[in-house]
Amino acid sequence: MEQVSWPNVAIGMFISMLCMHFMGKFLNFEEIRNVNFYRLATYPIWLLGRIFTDALYMIKMILTSSKWGVTTYTLHVENEALRNILADSITLTPGSVFLEREGDNITLLCIDGIGKTGYPTAEAGLNSIQRMLKKAQINETSQGKGRE
């Protein structure tokens, strides 16, 4: 349609809700069953802010002396779908790039200041993303009691 009107928006929302209902009813998505997506509603906005903040840090790293390297961290997010979102989010934020994931370990290509031991900025970024994603994780033990 060439214009946006309230009836078009309402019909679009209704059709979207109907499609989501039928997808949830007839398609079995086991890996996202333990994710509360309502708790991820603000995540894209938060991530966008994080990207801009890290971009300013990257400008500082480019203009000053910096080092790069490969490092491995342990993941604390248990759900596979959230781990995929984490890997994509890490790559979106400047200063670290997802390379590999084996089990609970994630390998990143990082950049940081020369005077720092290791890559604390990349670790802090990874931990903040994990904290945001863990809010959407539904524990296996609480699933029997109902969704959180």
Considering the domain boundaries, does residue 130 fall inside one? yes
In the prediction, which pLDDT does 72 show?
93
Report the CATH number at residue 131: 3.30.70
Report residue 8: phi and psi, to 5°: -65, -40
Considering the domain boundaries, does residue 100 fall inside one? yes
Q: How many CB atoms lie within 10 A of CB 106?
A: 23
Considering the domain boundaries, does residue 26 fall inside one? no
How many domains in the chain? 1
Considering the domain boundaries, does residue 56 fall inside one? yes
pLDDT at 55 over 70: yes
Considering the domain boundaries, does residue 148 fall inside one? no
In the prediction, which pLDDT does 1 show?
63
Picking from 55, 57, 74, the residue whose alpha carbon sits closest to that of residue 66 is 57
Considering the domain boundaries, does residue 107 fall inside one? yes
Considering the domain boundaries, does residue 2 fall inside one? no
Mean pLDDT of the chain: 86
Considering the domain boundaries, does residue 22 fall inside one? no
d(Cα 94, Cα 118) in Å, to the nearest integer? 17
Domain range for 37 is 31-143
**How far lies 65's CA from each of 53, 95, 113, 125, in Å?**
19, 14, 6, 20
pTM, 2 dp: 0.72
For residues 94 and 30, the model is more confident at: 94
